[in-house]
Amino acid sequence: MRRDRSAWTLVQGVLAPLQFLVFVVSLALVLRYLATGESYQAAAISVVCKTALLYLIMVTGAIWEKVVFGQYLFAPAFFWEDVVSMLVIALHSAYLVVWWKGIGTPQLHMVIALAAYAVYLVNALQFLVKLRTARLQRHTSQALAAGPWAHERG
């Protein structure tokens, strides 16, 4: 109930698909650069944009977790999702460091971005599975509360 009543649920519901859209565009730009050597700047900026959205969704997600579960991170219900999220943040942050400081080659930057994106996909799948499970549990609970003959009541 707290999850459904929290304004932060809506915030997460808007930011998550937005971040995924930016991810898809950025992934295409990164892969294009790696395949052709063209448009490094566009690919690099797209990864920075994706990272900024990641930071935003992580901060608002931590607030959501506090409101719903009483702690900012690593609540038992989201422990493994949060563990993988920390790896996602670490890899995106590593990208920012090498990009900002000019460490390594542009190809290295893009490989780090791809690693960050691969772990982001795993994390996104974790959250989708968690969301699906929560919805199924809610429907099961509602059906049990209604009783076995609820569909016959008209």
pLDDT in tens, the chain (154 residues): 556 677 777 888 899 999 999 999 999 999 999 999 999 999 999 999 999 999 999 999 999 889 888 999 999 988 999 999 999 999 999 999 999 999 999 999 999 999 999 999 999 999 889 877 866 776 666 656 555 555 554 4
What is the rounded distance in angstroms from the CA atom of residue 84 to the CA atom of residue 73?
A: 12
Question: What is the per-residue pLDDT for 143?
Answer: 57
**Would you say 85 and 74 are in contact if contact means Cβ atoms under 8 Å apart?**
no
123: Cα within 13 Å, side-chain hemisphere: 24
Contacts of 70 (CB under 8 A, 6+ apart): none
Question: What is the per-residue pLDDT for 41?
Answer: 97
- Copy the structure tokens of residue 136: 């199924």
Q: For the whole model, what pTM was predicted?
A: 0.81
Question: What is the per-residue pLDDT for 141?
Answer: 60
Question: What is the per-residue pLDDT for 79?
Answer: 92
CA distances for 30 relative to 18, 97, 123, angstroms: 18, 17, 20
What is the rounded distance in angstroms from the CA atom of residue 89 to the CA atom of residue 110?
A: 16
